[in-house]
Amino acid sequence: MTPSEFARAELAAMMAKTQEANVDQQAALRALLDCAAAALAAQSGVEDAQNELTFVARNLGDEEDYSFMRP
């Protein structure tokens, strides 16, 4: 199992739990993002975490190539 597959499976399980517990899913996702960003910063440093989050944010849309591939 790849790290992405593992993360997607864990996210699916979390979303199922939020639905069962009647927890706001957007709020839960924001909280998860906060936790993941803090954990990444603790593991690799704040600057690296900021760079990674910026990269992810710039490449959210599926309809475009990654920003580094754009002309």
Tokens of 71: 């002309």
Determine the distance from the C-alpha atom of residue 62 to the mean position of all C-alpha atoms in its chain, rounded to a whole number: 15
Amino acid at 24: D
**What pLDDT band is residue 63 in, cutting at 50, 70 and 90?**
low
Crossing angle (nearest 10°) for helices 25-44 and 46-58: 140
What residue spans define the domains of the chain?
3-69
For residue 29, pLDDT beyond 70: yes
How much is the average pLDDT of 11-28?
Answer: 97
Q: Whole-number mean pLDDT of the chain?
A: 90
Task: State how far Cα 42 lies from the chain centre.
Answer: 16
